[in-house]
Amino acid sequence: MEYVQERVTTLHALGEGSPEAPTDRAAVVVPMTEREYGGLAAERVLSALESVDPGRVVVPLRAPAERAGSFDEWLQGFDLTVETVWCDGPRLERLLADYGLDGDRGKGRDVWVGLGRALSEEFVVVHDADTRTYSPAYVNRLLFPLARGYDFSKGYYARIEDGQLYGRLFRLLYRPLVRALAEEHADPIVEYLESFRYALAGEFAATADLVSTLRIQRGWGLEIGTLGDAFAYGGFDGSAQVDLGRYEHDHRSVRGPTGLAEMSEAVVDATLRTLLDRGIEPDETTLPDRYREAADELVRAYSTDAAFNGFDYDRESERDQIEAYAEAIGPVGPDDRLPPWRNSPVSAEAVLEAAEADLREVAE
């Protein structure tokens, strides 16, 4: 147990229970796909939220038309104010296309749609629905700093299961990548990105005003893009990170569709774009090798930590992953972020009306 502070205010779960927090003034955004329908993890999350009783729960839903209606019916069975925002309907698709907002689909795009509805509350919490260790204390912990004047808070946790270290994309890609960038660029944004203990965590909370300024990455770069905009809005003084304990959820393979190697491309792109937003241009010709060097140093540290705890640790597998991730380090792609709701060309009301009409049609 420790209570060391980082440059970002760090709140440690040193006692039992959860702190008092303004849950009644908060919207909780929980993106879901059809694989969560009736699943134990999602049911555990929603049941826990019943005891939290937030102002509203917004579920941006990605599911085919034949499943959307029954999914919404299942969600309405919980003792919560749940609003299902179906993200796959034709009216919504046409509306976004009319405003030039069509394009690649991903988790970020769905979250962006849900955030439009969540802005009706004072505070917004975002987290996933695939954790097997969800606690109702998560929402209170994430909201607590906001009630004390902070603008943004992010969760962190230990990814440990079955005597092994997980959180591979964070440990083996993001952390050494930012360490390599820090060696080249002494800029506050790099220090900010390095200050978070689990920067790829999907759990965060923010004031509605900050959320209205977010330029949302469409895919897996969502978490890093959010950090970049949180820094621009509130900097170190407005940010906190909160201990959520241990966290278990589904694991992904390294290769293949939606695998970690594919996700790494979005994480690298979002990280480098965050620097570009500040006028910092990393040397992309030397960065892969500097990343490998930093990652190799961390493998030695992880190996020692695992041995200290009696965990299994496969150095060769970890190094193979590093090589896969190194292939993702290259020029930044086109900027296809969705606009902040504060100055979006389409209103949140129009988006929600289209999504609601689509859902009504398939539910009839």
- Tell whether the torsion through CA atoms of 68, 107, 207 and 200 is positive or negative: positive
Closest Cα to residue 9, out of 246, 224, 242?
242
What is the β-pairing status of strands 56-62 and 82-86? parallel
Mean pLDDT of all residues belonging to the chain: 92
**Quick check: is 150 in a domain?**
yes
CB 160 within 8 A of CB 246: yes
Confidence band (pLDDT; 50, 70, 90) for 254? low
Confidence band (pLDDT; 50, 70, 90) for 248? low
Model-wide pTM > 0.85: yes
**Quick check: is 118 in a domain?**
yes
Q: What is the pLDDT of residue 77?
A: 96
Q: What is the DSSP secondary structure assignment for residue 34, as one 8-state letter? A: G
Question: How many distinct structural domains can be found in the chain?
Answer: 1
Confidence band (pLDDT; 50, 70, 90) for 353? very high
Per-residue pLDDT, averaged over 285-310, amounts to: 96
**Quick check: is 345 in a domain?**
yes
**Quick check: is 2 in a domain?**
no
- Dihedral of the CA atoms 30, 9, 275, 320 (nearest 10)? -70
Alpha carbon distance 185, 178 (integer Å) = 10
Alpha carbon distance 177, 204 (integer Å) = 22
- pLDDT tens for 66-80 read 999 999 999 999 999
Return the bridge partners of 153, or none: 205, 240
**Quick check: is 3 in a domain?**
no
Which of left, alpha, beta for 256 (phi over 0: left; psi -120 to 50: alpha)?
A: left
* Helix, coil or strand: residue 215: coil
Q: Tokens 């709140």 label which residue?
A: 11
**Quick check: is 83 in a domain?**
yes
- Over 50: is that where the pLDDT of 244 sits? yes
CATH number of the domain to which 158 belongs: 3.90.550.10
Per-residue pLDDT, averaged over 24-30, amounts to: 98
**Quick check: is 132 in a domain?**
yes
Q: What is the pLDDT of residue 220?
A: 84
- pLDDT tens for 169-195 read 999 999 999 999 999 999 999 999 999
- Over 60: is that where the pLDDT of 249 sits? no
- Over 90: is that where the pLDDT of 113 sits? yes
Q: Tokens 């491309």 label which residue?
A: 265
Alpha carbon distance 22, 54 (integer Å) = 8
Residue 15 domain boundaries: 9-363
- pLDDT tens for 259-283 read 577 789 999 999 999 999 999 999 9
Q: Please report, as a single letter, which amino acid is at residue 246.
A: R
- Per the document, the length of the chain is 364
**Quick check: is 1 in a domain?**
no
Q: What is the pLDDT of residue 251?
A: 47
Confidence band (pLDDT; 50, 70, 90) for 104? confident
